[in-house]
Amino acid sequence: MRKKMLKLVAVSTLALGLSMFQGPQTEANAATTYQVKSGDTLWLIGKKYGVPVQSLLTQNKKSSSQLFVGERLTIPSSLTNAEKDLLARLVNAEAKGEPYAGKVAVASVVLNRVKSDLFPNSVQSVIYQKVGGHYAFTPVQNGEINKPASVEAKRAVNEALAFQGMGNGSLYFYNPKTSTSKWIFSRPVTVTIGNHRFAK
């Protein structure tokens, strides 16, 4: 009995030592697996996890969006929770009082900028970018970005992430009633939602 106890303690100690050596799993390398349930679609799964539908297709080597109940999908890594929170706080500040679709579109502008060669290549660097001595986004300048994001803004970020790669590529948005920039009015308009006009 004593030998068995010593063996158990030794195995437990070894396991604990190995887990401490490996260190905590980061969000970036933590693989998530999802088991498909009745009524699921790639769109709903993408919105739930905040990952592009296109990435779900690629990650799982799928040639169509057909799903089967019980099928296991690997959910690719997307933005970190900190990046999602920052983006949601920007959406909350920029699109407060705007329709939900407008919130999704504001988040999409930031994500499109990250993918564009014309802008920095991370959510944080896009949001905090300075152009001509001024921040690209007013909430960064006036501190509104530091306020907590609403549940709706967080949901809009996940939807924008799921939609990534399927939109019209808007890189700018502005309020035509208050904007004083002649340059922004020269950009091709992609859509108008609420008080915001979106453009390329």
Cα 198 from Cα 176, distance rounded (Å): 10
Alpha-carbon torsion 28, 65, 33, 50, what sign? positive
Residue 87's nearest CA partner among 134, 145, 164 is 145
Residues with Cβ within 8 Å of residue 91, at least 6 apart in sequence: 103, 106, 107, 149, 153, 156, 157
Local structure of residue 199 (DSSP, 8 states): E
CB 165 within 8 Å of CB 43: no
What phi and psi values does residue 39 have, to the nearest 5 degrees? 90, -10
Query: Cβ distance 189 to 198 under 8 Å?
Result: yes
Closest residue by Cα to residue 137 from 168, 169, 165, 113: 113
DSSP 95: S
**In whole angstroms, what is the distance from residue 90 CA to residue 144 CA?**
8
Residue 31: its pLDDT value, please? 57
b/e map of 92-111 (b: 16 or more CB within 10 Å)? Answer: bbbbeebeeebbbbbbbbbb
* pTM of the predicted protein model: 0.78
Per residue of the chain (200 residues), give pLDDT as tens: 444 433 333 333 333 333 333 333 334 434 589 999 999 999 999 999 999 999 999 999 999 999 999 999 999 988 999 999 999 999 999 999 999 999 999 999 999 999 999 999 999 999 999 988 889 999 999 999 999 999 999 999 999 999 887 777 899 998 988 887 888 888 989 999 998 999 99
With a CB cutoff of 8 Å and minimum separation 6, the contacts of 197 are: 173, 174, 175, 176, 189, 191
| 89 within 8 A of 147, measured Cβ to Cβ | yes
What pLDDT sits at residue 168?
Answer: 78
Rounded (10°) angle between helices 42-49 and 151-163: 130
